[in-house]
Structure 1
Amino acid sequence: MNSPLVATDLVQTYGEGSNATHALAGVSLSVAPGESLAIMGPSGSGKTTLLHCLAGVLAPTSGSVVWKGADLASLSDRRRTALRRTDFGFVFQSGQLLPELPAVENAALPLMLAGTSRTEATRVAAAWLAHLGLAGLEQRRPGELSGGQSQRVAIARALAGSPGVVFADEPTGALDQATGADVLSVLTSATRSTGAALVVVTHDEAVARHCSRMITMRDGRVTGEYVHEEAAR
């Protein structure tokens, strides 16, 4: 059973004294299993910094991010890195697939890095690719796939390890509107079906509406919170 991801009073400060910049200024939130949360705001609002703190990529100046009873900041670098291979999945704007590997190996890579055998990792990855509508394309390399297909491979990679939380940073930023909407629909339904929480950073309200809940940010603070009841069902 997955746990909620809980952030309390997150502060992230760069510099000191009069030169200090507050990227986060006391952000608290939680994301429940199966819930999708959009973090929305203009450039410089702190949304990407918040995602990095939630994922354990960045240790906050103060405050805590608790996952399965542990404060991420209290964990060693090695343990946080391991979490990002096992408990957390990631989908980036450009997919960040390895161009020399076929789709199935790109999707299987986190499993293999975590110690799963190549045979089992590719079996799981192929099942996810089929689930996401890519059956028959397992051996195609990223250069042979459309932008939407590449993002589906990235989603398969994020989900193959059965993560508790999937983090998506502008996952449709490089796609046209129709393809982006299709990818978001696939991403939200796939995470909901596995019970994983989904955290999406975006500046696009159309993207945010696919998520069951949205917070808005400005100057490192949460300025609003909204529930999208249709997306939550």
Structure 2
Amino acid sequence: MRVKAATFDIGGVLYSDDAFKRAIFSALNQLTSVSQESFDQIYLAHLKSQSGSLRSKLCEAFLGSLDKKSELMAIANKEWLFNDNDQYQDGKDCLIKLKQAGLKIGIIANQPKVAADRLKQDGLFELIDFLGISAIVGFEKPDPAFFKLAIKELSLPAQEIIHIGNRIDTDVNPAKALGMKTVWVRRGEANPDPSKDDLAAADITVSDLKSLPELINAL
């Protein structure tokens, strides 16, 4: 069945995950004192585990419990901003090529509301048919309801939609469970040491988006 729509994560796919990493590190240091080395240890261990919430792990490691998680994220969300260097140019090029090929474009991303402003600033917003930003729609991945909303709004069967993300646990697995095709992008918060199962989990596995339109067309 031919792919007629593509949904994209934002962090690690269209923009660097460094924006969130900078924001959460700064937020932690406004609540306590955290060294870059100790932060990086938790961060890397999380990437390798590909399970659970990084935000919760950081709270428990540096703030002692989850009691201040809401406060931490309120601070982080104010600083969770993409700069010009964070945008992956191959992401924009990929969106344009897929749109020109007649595909609908969706976003399924755990991001603050200001991410929409950045998409507008960089000329991506006009390419998007469904804007699924967690802070706007009220769902967070891997909640199946988030993916179901995208399927509904794109008005296509799940089998005709391909989801593109950089996490197995929050992107590939929940999309597959609903019958969507999947792409695993191995950058950003992707597991740096993937297993054979990880490498075989998605329909397409890539390290960037340069050849993705052609790979999708060949499915």
TM-score, normalized by the shorter chain, greater than 0.5? no
TM-score by length of 1: 0.31
TM-score by length of 2: 0.33
Which structure's residues are more often strand, by fraction? 1
Which structure's residues are more often helix, by fraction? 2
